[in-house]
Structure 1
Amino acid sequence: MTYEEALEEIHGLYRFGSKLGLSRMSRLMELLGNIQDKMNVIHVAGTNGKGSVCRYVYAALTEQGYRVGLYTSPFIEVFNERIECCGEMISDEDLAQCTDTVMGLVREMVDRGEESPTEFEVVTAIAFVYFQRRNVDYVVLEVGLGGRGDSTNVVRRPVVSVITSISFDHMEYLGDTLPEIAGEKAGIIKDGCPVVYCIKDREAAETVRSRAAEQNCAVYDVLGTVEKACVRPADHLVRQTEGYGFDTAVLGEEYPGVRLAMAGSHQVENACCALTVIEVLKKGNKLEIEKEAVYRGFQKARQIGRFEVLQRDPYVIIDGAHNDDGARALAAAAAEQFAGKRILLICGILADKEVDRMIAEFGSLGADMAATEPDNPRRLPSAELCARIRQAGYPCEDAGDYRGAIRYGKERLSDYDAVIYAGSLYLVGKIREGYRIENE
């Protein structure tokens, strides 16, 4: 099987849609010998921030010299981004070989009259096969959707379960209230396994804490929302466009002078959550790591498509703020970095998101605004988004599709200190690709 054939096989499963539930995935992993149960898995759920927390933990453990696998979604430019090991994306050849192994078992299931796994379930299985072949010491595993019924939840004994945030997203699957959404994400909690959570909403945090208590889990409340905080509030903040610095203490361990390559106060919270995960594993004798490796890893960790700088003087930034909480974090980060500066915000949103809430958050920045649309069938047309932004009371221009948005932004660069493309990851991936190709 070639790389191209592998992608065709994987994407061909899109016709089965997105289905929560573990029956298909459990059967597939059974055929693979339940290899996930032989791995040290750090399982991370949450509405926002989970990708960054995964990246910090992954980078720190890799710096220590561990063999670490990382599974995330979605990808920004190339499919291989979703599966990494020891600082490198899965190669085309390895992806083809692992896909061949998994798809052979999928065909066996279908031939027996069993239900076919979905695309996401197959990709998750491919990741586990690859991590087994690479003989990893740890797997940092990001939940795709929710938690309870997500394909990653075939992991039965994670070394730690992490929930990074709770806000409104995917409500058609997860529920209409924050406690309901929290309950779905708390489905990754397993009996006796430690739980770290970084949740601001009290009711949502209480839902997670209660579930952890039912499962006899040690609980670590990063922010101190319902339990004693295990992290001292970060102080001596250093705010720069391409990274923040701070001092803190985690579970009594001092961390002065932490430096991040990612900007925004929300990244300080994500980093504190990741530090808590590391300290919990250390204190549970599940991990040996030098503080210097943690510092190096955090300073190297970068999450592409999240307040990522594509150009300087003037700045061009992309941010996958794909829900209202993400839009709020972006607006806060941009306000910190560009106070008193002229900003152009070009946004594109999927139609099934909380569009009006996102518009309100984007509008709070006080930037000039333009509407575009993601390269995805679920896109909200730019003309409709533009009209809704105007209805909300903000001036807006229609920049058309992502190609038009790139042209629109470049034509107006000289008028602004920063041009920010924000919204769907399907949009920022195309913007990133466009700038990369031009620079090459």
Structure 2
Amino acid sequence: MAITNRFQDAVKALNSLQTNFASIEAGKKAGTLKRNTLAMPEMLEWTRRLGYAASDFNRMNIIHITGTKGKGSTCAFVQSILSQYHTRGVNKIGLFTSPHLKSVRERVRINGNPIAEDLFTKYFFEVWDKLSGSTSDTERFPDMAGDSKPVYFKYMTLLSFYVFLKEGVDTAIYEVGVGGEYDSTNIIEKPTVCGVSALGIDHVFMLGETLPEIAWNKGGIFKEGAPAFTVEQPEDAMQVLRARGTEKNIAGELQVVGQNPAVTGLKLGLAGEFQKQNASLAIQLAATHLQKLEILSQTDVEAISRGVLPIEFAVGLETAMWEGRCQTIVEEGVTWYVDGAHTKESIDASSEWFGAVSALAAKPKSRVLLFNQQTRDANMLIGRLYNNLADVKFDHVVFTTNVTWSSGAYSADLVSMNTSKDAVDRLEVQKSLAETWADLEKQNKQQAARKHIFHDIETSVNFIRSLEGPVEVFVCGSLHLVGGFLVVLDGKQ
């Protein structure tokens, strides 16, 4: 109990580092979110105050991955492949990803598992105390005066570096948070390899409103002498990525990864046709990394690129797991199809997956959509989902907030300060989504589904469970919704 309480103290302290809704809105209006030239110098200064230099992280042999859609899944595939080599030189694998679904500990994993509560707590407060007990030159770093701490994501990035070094990680996989050029993970100096998953329009206030602007940011992770791979991208984005590769003096040219021939014959651990692209990128990243570690030869890598996979790669791809992404959960009377999707590209992929699995499943008594997207263009996304699933008839459409429990409380690890509490309490987004769905039904002369608006995820889940079964439910939208939904299914407040 003492450890759990201390862990909750760590989570509470971490949540205090979130950027609140008012600050984010002010930053958007002022245009200060796009380019923060102090972002990297400040991260290096925080690192110094921990007692390290960025060069210390090179010993972890880091794979650095960015993108808009699929970067987390690509990381999961890479981790699963490399885990098959634990007796051949890949002894301890660190994985840093974001956001988390149920617990913040998911962001910092070792050998596939979130670090334990006691370890998280120990290292969290060691970092906290080191930063509290050190100072910076406030003329150079005016925002680092007194007992200031880095914001949430920067703190978690620092914590991950600290944990992985203390725990003796010898291979690390880092997923970029937002963009690349100014992302806090970009203090990595010498990655073994860099990867770019599919690009799309997202985080426009920080990255720009066009695909070339976004590609410029993503290409910021490329490093001198490190090989770099990307999946096929629209040509305007590809031109920018190639230019950035030349500018950063990467090893050779930026290499474009098509679908690996071997992927067709495998049952990937992550569902969805689109995962074949992520798996193919992961194959190339893992192979290149293992060559850097002198575990594979150039001949091995060339054979892998042609589709001749070692058994370790095949097993890794088939056993990969990534919760909340095209996940099927079966309860008595209810089958939940769960996928986080917050961009138009991910809505397209998610809809395609659900349409395919729904067509193969037995006809349910009721089919339900459970949806929310609190911070992005929710009406555009729900309209796209509606059109993509025009042939799928929903009997009930449920719109909820991301609030976890019927008491009005969030799960401690899911507290969000970057949304408008007033808008959440008034159910503004949810009412607008219901109206948009109704308008689309009228325009398409489709039989109307019953609309339901609930203030929290727990009430939404209880309502769905009360329906006469069998019930088929598509849980889609924000990863915050998906995370809260999984917490409610676990039933642990």
TM-score normalised according to structure 1 size: 0.86
What does 1:19-418 align with in structure 2 at a 5 Å threshold?
A: 21-31=39-49, 32-34=51-53, 35-65=56-86, 66=90, 67-109=92-134, 113=138, 114=141, 115=144, 116-217=149-250, 218=252, 219-223=254-258, 231-232=259-260, 246-247=263-264, 257-284=265-292, 287-288=295-296, 291-311=310-330, 314-339=334-359, 343-350=367-374, 352-363=375-386, 364-366=388-390, 367=392, 368=394, 369-375=397-403, 376=416, 377-378=419-420, 381-393=429-441, 395=448, 397-401=451-455, 402-412=457-467, 414=469, 416=471, 418=472
Residue 314 of structure 1 deviates from its aligned partner by 4.7
Once residues 206 and 275 of structure 1 are traced to their aligned partners in structure 2, the CA distance between those partners, rounded to angstroms, is: 24
What amino acid is the match of 2:257?
V
* 1:433 aligned onto 2:487: yes
Identity of aligned residues (%): 24
What amino acid is the match of 1:349?
Q
Instruction: Give the 3 Å change call, closer, same or farther, for CA 29–337 of structure 1 in structure 2.
Output: same
Residue 216 of structure 1 deviates from its aligned partner by 2.6
Alpha-carbon contact 1:413-1:419 (below 8 Å) kept: no
Give the 3-state SS of the residue equivalent to 1:168 in structure 2.
coil
Instruction: Give the 3 Å change call, closer, same or farther, for CA 284–36 of structure 1 in structure 2.
Output: closer
Once residues 94 and 270 of structure 2 are traced to their aligned partners in structure 1, the CA distance between those partners, rounded to angstroms, is: 21
Q: Tell me which of the two structures has the higher relative contact order, counting C-alpha pairs closer than 8 angstroms and 6 or more residues apart.
A: 2
Residue 193 of structure 1 deviates from its aligned partner by 1.0
Alpha-carbon contact 2:57-2:161 (below 8 Å) kept: yes
Give the 3-state SS of the residue equivalent to 2:233 in structure 1.
coil
Q: Give the structure 2 partner of residue 228 of structure 1.
A: none
Q: Determine which of 1, 8, 15 is the counterpart of 1:4.
A: 8
- Report the RMSD for the aligned CA atoms in angstroms: 2.5
Unaligned 5+ segments in structure 2 are: 25-32, 301-308, 404-415, 443-447
Alpha-carbon contact 1:167-1:178 (below 8 Å) kept: yes
Q: Give the structure 1 partner of residue 407 of structure 2.
A: none
What amino acid is the match of 2:102?
E
Once residues 111 and 335 of structure 2 are traced to their aligned partners in structure 1, the CA distance between those partners, rounded to angstroms, is: 31
Once residues 274 and 491 of structure 2 are traced to their aligned partners in structure 1, the CA distance between those partners, rounded to angstroms, is: 30
Instruction: Give the 3 Å change call, closer, same or farther, for CA 51–112 of structure 1 in structure 2.
Output: same
Alpha-carbon contact 1:383-1:398 (below 8 Å) kept: no
Q: Deviations over 1:133-189 (max 9, x none)?
A: 121121000111111111100101111111101111111111101111111111111
Higher strand share goes to which structure?
1
Alpha-carbon contact 2:326-2:338 (below 8 Å) kept: yes
What amino acid is the match of 1:83?
V
Alpha-carbon contact 2:379-2:432 (below 8 Å) kept: no
What amino acid is the match of 1:408?
F
TM-score normalised according to structure 2 size: 0.77
Once residues 126 and 137 of structure 2 are traced to their aligned partners in structure 1, the CA distance between those partners, rounded to angstroms, is: 17
What does 1:419-430 align with in structure 2 at a 5 Å threshold?
A: 419-430=473-484
